[in-house]
Amino acid sequence: MSKHRKMYIQSNQLLTIKPVGPTQEKVFEAWKSNKNLFLTGSAGTGKTFILLYLALKDVLDKGKPYEKVVLVRSLLPSRDIGFLPGTLDEKSNLYQDPYRILIKYLFEAPSEQDMAQLYDKLISQGSLEFYSTSFLRGQTFDRSIIIVDEASNMIFQELDTIMTRVGQDSKICFAGDMAQSDLRKTNGEQDGYHNFQAILGEMEEFEVLEFDIGDIIRSGLVRSYLIAKTNIARPLS
């Protein structure tokens, strides 16, 4: 795949997004230093949004080596999604809806129809791909920026497998929030996320950044709820 292919979505259609708050600023600085990233912490802090922006900015830049953004997430609670009927796209379509919405806030488009087609056009031109962790075996992602979203919903084996998929001229970024994890605490599933974070924290290639309630950028009722939920600090079953 080459950047000389027909590009429906160009880099000049991408809006200029600036960091909000000191932790987002650290993300932008680490990105400029070509670090791989592990972002963890509070919901509503824009972790996935800024990663998607930075990744698409580089992928659409013809002067950068990256050809595509690869979005990866675990399709909890259906890790056995491969046994369901239908194509991968049909089975995972529901889980792609949040990214379709985020994409609309990253680009300029001449009409509502064009805005609605942004996500699918990025996929059709090869600039964006979506994978479930159930379909990663045998894959190697060269010249890619891999965004592993909802990483806190992945057991250690899934996170470990994703790391082995990183190919030549690629970088990888993780975003997660243990407070939103669907994994069970009773059998140690959640330990994998913390253990994986500890490993990456020992690697000079990675920047591990933690977001807290002071980094929440949502306003009004949602912000108040997220702060109150965090302050209670009581596990929810």
**Among 5-14, 74-83, 104-113, 219-228, whose mean pLDDT is lowest?**
74-83
- Mean pLDDT of all residues in the chain? 87
Entry pTM: 0.88
> Could you read off the pLDDT of 81-94 as tens digits, one per residue?
445 556 656 667 88
State the average pLDDT over residues 110-117. Answer: 87
Contact 145, 171 (CB under 8 A): yes
Q: Is the pLDDT of residue 167 over 80?
A: yes
| Single-letter residue type at 90 | E
* Better-predicted residue by pLDDT, 181 or 73: 73
Domain annotation covers residue 221: yes
Q: Is the pLDDT of residue 145 over 60?
A: yes
Domain annotation covers residue 183: yes
pLDDT of residue 81: 47
Residue 123's φ and ψ, nearest 5 degrees, are -70, -45
pLDDT of residue 184: 60
- List Cα–Cα distances, 164 to 136, 160, 172, 206, 232, in angstroms: 10, 7, 11, 15, 38
> Could you read off the pLDDT of 55-68 as tens digits, one per residue?
999 999 999 999 99
State the average pLDDT over residues 140-152. Answer: 96
Domain annotation covers residue 151: yes
CA–CA separation, 62 vs 2, rounded Å?
A: 10
Report the percent of the chain where pLDDT is more than 70. Answer: 85
* Better-predicted residue by pLDDT, 190 or 50: 50
Domain annotation covers residue 22: yes
State the average pLDDT over residues 87-104. Answer: 82
Domain annotation covers residue 5: no
Domain annotation covers residue 6: no
Domain annotation covers residue 190: yes
pLDDT of residue 2: 58
pLDDT of residue 89: 63
Number of structural domains found in the chain: 1
Per-range mean pLDDT, top range of 76-90, 134-148, 223-237: 134-148
Q: Is the pLDDT of residue 178 over 90?
A: no
Domain annotation covers residue 162: yes
Residue 42 maps to which CATH number? 3.40.50.300
**Structural domain span for residue 218:** 11-232
In which band, very low, low, confident or very high, does the pLDDT at 112 lie, cut at 50, 70 and 90?
confident
In which band, very low, low, confident or very high, does the pLDDT at 79 lie, cut at 50, 70 and 90?
very low
Q: Is the pLDDT of residue 80 over 80?
A: no
Q: What is the DSSP string of 139-197?
A: --B-SEEEEETTGGGS-HHHHHHHHTTB-TT-EEEEEE-GGG--S-TTTTTTHHHHHHH
